[in-house]
Chains A and B, each alone.
Chain A
Amino acid sequence: LPQDEPVPLAFFVHDAEIVVSLEKTLAGQTVETEKVLDIIYQPQAVFRVRAVTRCTSSLEGHTEAVISVAFSPTGKYLASGSGDTTVRFWDLSTETPQFTAKGHRHWVLSIAWSPDGKKLASGCKNSQIFLWDPATGNQIGRVLAGHSKWITCLCWEPLHINPECRYLASASKDGSIRIWDTLMGRCDKILTSHTQSVTCVKWGGDGLLYSSSQDRTIKVWRSQDGVLCRTLQGHAHWVNTMALSTDYVLRTGAFEPAEATINPQDVSGSLAELKDKAQQRYDQVRGQEPERLVSGSDDFTLFLWRPAEDKKPLERMTGHQALINQVLFSPDTRIIASASFDKSIKLWDGRTGKYLTSLRGHVSAVYQIAWSADSRLLVSGSSDSTLKVWDAKMKKLAIDLPGHADEVYATDWSPDGQRVASGGKDKCLRIWRR
């Protein structure tokens, strides 16, 4: 096939990847010598992210445990929310503290970057949402208050739908989801239907909003008018977490990780250009099929859904022996990784939900995972105070990263692939690089 540049390919025979040689892969399968063998190839990411091996800095500053850590979509800024009610911004070029955003009066439970990287939203236990400007550390606009109980999750509207990054969805323990207009500083819509706490909310790229709740259901809403479309039932206990197949591309917006530079820059261009670029990237990742949604629950199983089409799940993925804390699609949507309290991470096929392998190595519950931008590496942070980098192709442990003094609550890999940030109970944020 005529291509602009040579693309690395992965070859699969009967769903088993050819890692060493065709002979070795066939040895494990029963193949008739007279039948024609189909070898399927899949293009992989052109750029290669190098595994992080060392801790370059341990940033102190928070006075309580660090609960969430997030890189901005281009990898230029790093923000962390903590139990000491502050959100801190860190300067990545010198690896020192930059701004401390004070304003919340209770623990900061979740943070979310807008897809253009210009705003950070943070939700606290007092059910307030603040917006911050990463370039100055100051608050933007007014406090968004309206929920009656604490905020569990925040999610921005994707860039390709609205390049101004105006709307923000927030999920709360009071069972409602509010869509806020950040420009006017007021609540636009309130979506109520869940009977118990909403644990996660995701804004899909096709105009649908997905929310999972402790009432064991996942509800699909139309983001245009806030009408409930579907209720996906099937789980037997709280639905803790959800992931969309297009999650990574919605998070990075118009930024293409393959074009990352050593010094991360903001994506430049007019709003229309950004919207086009984001739309292109979204279409490429999504392909022909509708978005897929995977949900992980306290009942130790995951469900794979196609929420835009059907209310019956595609596949029920069992195997974990304790509750599932986080599920993530790989950036190229081919693999699903699930982190659980049973000390293991399981990898599943992203399209069919078939079980691939278990990654064992942690000695305690795995709290959060993060994929590298080329989908080849996975980093996981656990309550045993270590982070581990796994090779997704070899399905083995690549590098062990000890160093934290106590449990690691949050991990994130920057979209340009250069750094991994992790924070936890020991109140210090660690940055890991190659």
Chain B
Amino acid sequence: GKWEVPVPKVRAQGETEVLKVIRTGKRKKKAWKRMVTKVCFVGDGFTRKPPKYERFIRPMGLRFKKAHVTHPELKATFCLPILGVKKNPSSPLYTTLGVIGVSTKGTVIEVNVSELGLVTQGGKVIWGKYAQVTNSPENDGCINAVLLV
């Protein structure tokens, strides 16, 4: 229908797969911290909360800013900066809370397309478009996506 995407069905990810429990405290008894094990996107102005209080840890090694986006009609791939994560199909926690932006296969992200030089019929320049991730970035080390035209 109206919201068709190239990758419709995605295997749901359980919380134990995405979030790893971090034990803290003098006797390593406290288990309220979680570390994200999948690739995520943090915005430009992201600053960590004070380490004593942060519940979700997003390691710097798993933070990505750019995605390899393929245009389905032109069959050309561009390396475009990510603007944000729109929807992660596994759980709304991973998108809507805004705490974690996790990119894994099937996630819809927003990318900056000013490099493509697209213009609307009204003459306005298009600078952001949605794309859907098509690989598992935590296994490959890069984010591959398909532009949703």
Which A residues have a C-beta under 8 Å from some C-beta of B?
343, 363-364, 383-386, 400-405
Contact A343 B119 (CB under 8 A): no
- Residues on B with beta carbons closer than 8 Å to the beta carbon of A404: 121
Residue of B nearest to A404 (CB): B121
- Residues on B with beta carbons closer than 8 Å to the beta carbon of A363: 114, 117-119, 125
- Residues on B with beta carbons closer than 8 Å to the beta carbon of A364: 117, 119
Contacts A363-B114, A363-B125, A402-B122 aside, 10 further interface pairs with beta carbons under 8 A come to A343-B117, A363-B119, A383-B117, A384-B119, A385-B121, A386-B119, A401-B123, A403-B121, A403-B123, A405-B121
Contact sample, A vs B, 20 pairs, CB 8 Å cutoff? A343-B117, A363-B117, A363-B118, A363-B119, A363-B125, A364-B117, A383-B117, A384-B117, A384-B118, A384-B119, A385-B119, A386-B119, A400-B123, A402-B122, A402-B123, A402-B124, A403-B121, A403-B123, A404-B121, A405-B121
Residue of A nearest to B114 (CB): A363
- Interface SS of chain B: loop
CA gap between A403 and B119 in the complex, in Å: 10
CA gap between A423 and B117 in the complex, in Å: 20
Residue of B nearest to A385 (CB): B119
Residue of A nearest to B123 (CB): A402
Residue of B nearest to A361 (CB): B125
B16 within 8 A of A: no
Contact B120 A402 (CB under 8 A): yes
- Residues on A with beta carbons closer than 8 Å to the beta carbon of B118: 363, 384
CA gap between A331 and B98 in the complex, in Å: 59
- Residues on A with beta carbons closer than 8 Å to the beta carbon of B125: 363
Q: In the complex, what's the smallest C-beta–C-beta distance from B127 to chain A, in angstroms?
A: 10
CA gap between A364 and B123 in the complex, in Å: 13
- Residues on B with beta carbons closer than 8 Å to the beta carbon of A385: 119, 121
Q: In the complex, what's the smallest C-beta–C-beta distance from A174 to chain B, in angstroms?
A: 33
Q: In the complex, what's the smallest C-beta–C-beta distance from A55 to chain B, in angstroms?
A: 11
CA gap between A364 and B115 in the complex, in Å: 9
Mark each residue of chain B from 120 to 145: 1 if its CB lies under 8 Å from any CB of chain A, else 0: 11111100000000000000000000
CA gap between A364 and B119 in the complex, in Å: 9
Contact B121 A402 (CB under 8 A): yes
- Residues on A with beta carbons closer than 8 Å to the beta carbon of B114: 363
- Residues on B with beta carbons closer than 8 Å to the beta carbon of A402: 119-124
CA gap between A292 and B70 in the complex, in Å: 47
Contact A386 B117 (CB under 8 A): no
- Residues on B with beta carbons closer than 8 Å to the beta carbon of A401: 123
Residue of B nearest to A405 (CB): B121
